[in-house]
Amino acid sequence: MGRRGHLSVKPLPLELQAPLWLDAVALHEGLELAVGAAVDLTLTDNRRSMIRIRRQDGGYMARLHHMFAQGNEAVVDALAALTLQRSEASVAEARAVLREFTGGNRELVRKKLPARRVRLRQEGRTHHLGTLAAEVIAADFDEAEQQGLKVVEITWGRWGKPGQPIREIRLGSYDPRRRLIRIHPILDRAEVPAWAVRFIIFHELLHHVIPARREGGRIAHHSAAFTTREAQHPRYGEYVIWARDELGRMMAEGSDVASG
């Protein structure tokens, strides 16, 4: 094989580029070895076009959904067979393998967002989420991470049905499709210290910096890298104790619940 092809993950959201890079390199090398030619490979986050391959001078151009970076050897061989198209039988067999693979990884396909934009509500009676989030980003993330976090927005969640008892609660959540953090409004009270709200915001921002990935056939939202980074926060131990002692009391006292 002459020249090596180019690899790009730039079309992917920033939070996917770094975690997928090593898998993308392995996919690229495996695909070039299997087809015996240079492949200019681009990984995408397209919702509809999972595979696009065509010939070009001296090799091939391929645009593949990023799920293929997590494919096994059989998937790489099927992509190579689809690329080379040596016989109708080999192409049909390859398409069957790839259909099974994409069908089993539908959770990695970005869902279409509703047209309606979420109305941000950052100013609470006690805590202003925009101010707290800015403080967290400046204190707990490096310069490169700060740049990536500029796309993340934050808002208070909404209250649930009045009078409904609280059995479980999510103090915060992160929606990677919207790049939106929601914080439970039960925290917007004077007895909740600002540092505790900042820690919850830090946890949700960390989901953007260290996104979920597939590990052992499942999606790991709190990977080893995530939990290690979280435990290194200077107030981690203090927050664990606060949440243990105060969360149950707040849930017992609350009668209105935000969906978070």
* 97 falls within a domain: yes
For tokens 């898998």, what's the residue? 23
Instruction: Please write the tens of the pLDDT for every residue from 225-242.
Output: 999 999 999 999 999 999
The whole-angstrom separation of Cα 47 and Cα 99 is 15
pLDDT at 258: 33
Instruction: Residue 59: count other Cβ atoms within 10 Å of its Cβ.
Output: 20
pLDDT at 246: 84
Q: 46 is in which domain, residue-wise?
A: 7-108
How many structural domains are present in the chain? 2
Same-domain pairing of 92 and 197: no
Q: Is 144 exposed, middle or buried (0-12, 13-18, 19+ CB in 10 A)?
A: exposed
* 57 falls within a domain: yes
Same-domain pairing of 149 and 248: yes
pLDDT at 2: 64
% of the chain residues with pLDDT over 70:
87
Instruction: Please write the tens of the pLDDT for every residue from 53-102.
Output: 999 988 999 999 999 999 999 999 999 999 999 999 999 999 999 999 99
Same-domain pairing of 157 and 82: no
* 122 falls within a domain: no
- Asked if residues 205 and 136 have their Cβ atoms less than 8 Å apart, the reply is yes
| pLDDT exceeds cutoff 80 at 255 | no
pLDDT at 139: 96
Residue where one domain finishes, among candidates 108, 142, 174: 108
User: What secondary structure, in 3-state letters, does the chain show?
Assistant: CCCCCCEECCCCCHHHHHHHHHHHHHHHHHHHHHHCCEEEEEEECCCCCCEEEEEECCEEEEEEEHHHHHCCHHHHHHHHHHHHCCCHHHHHHHHHHHHHHHHCCHHHCCCCCCCCCCCCCCECCCCEHHHHHHHHHHHHCCHHHHHHHHHCEEEECCECCCCCCCCCCCCEEEECCCCEEEECHHHCCCCCCHHHHHHHHHHHHHHHHCCCEEECCEEECCCHHHHHHHHCCCCHHHHHHHHHHHHHHHHHHCCCCECC
pLDDT band at 215 (very low <50, low <70, confident <90, very high): low
* 169 falls within a domain: yes
255/147: higher pLDDT: 147
For the record, the structure tokens of 30 come out as 């495996």
Same-domain pairing of 60 and 168: no
* Mean pLDDT for the chain overall: 87
For range 135-142, the mean pLDDT: 96
* 1 falls within a domain: no
Same-domain pairing of 133 and 172: yes
* 89 falls within a domain: yes
Domain CATH number, residue 154:
3.30.2010.10
Same-domain pairing of 239 and 140: yes
18 backbone φψ class: left, alpha, beta (φ>0; ψ -120 to 50): alpha
For range 30-40, the mean pLDDT: 95
Report the candidate in 127, 259, 141 with the shortest Cα–Cα distance to residue 195: 127
- Asked if residues 41 and 237 have their Cβ atoms less than 8 Å apart, the reply is no
Same-domain pairing of 213 and 243: yes
- Asked if residues 19 and 52 have their Cβ atoms less than 8 Å apart, the reply is no
By DSSP bridging, strand 153-156 and strand 180-183 are parallel
* 117 falls within a domain: no
117/142: higher pLDDT: 142
Report the candidate in 167, 154, 164, 171 with the shortest Cα–Cα distance to residue 242: 171
Same-domain pairing of 150 and 222: yes
For range 249-254, the mean pLDDT: 68
pLDDT band at 15 (very low <50, low <70, confident <90, very high): confident
For range 7-18, the mean pLDDT: 86
Instruction: Residue 6: count other Cβ atoms within 10 Å of its Cβ.
Output: 12
Instruction: Please write the tens of the pLDDT for every residue from 147-204.
Output: 999 999 999 988 765 555 455 678 899 988 788 999 999 999 999 999 999 999 999 9
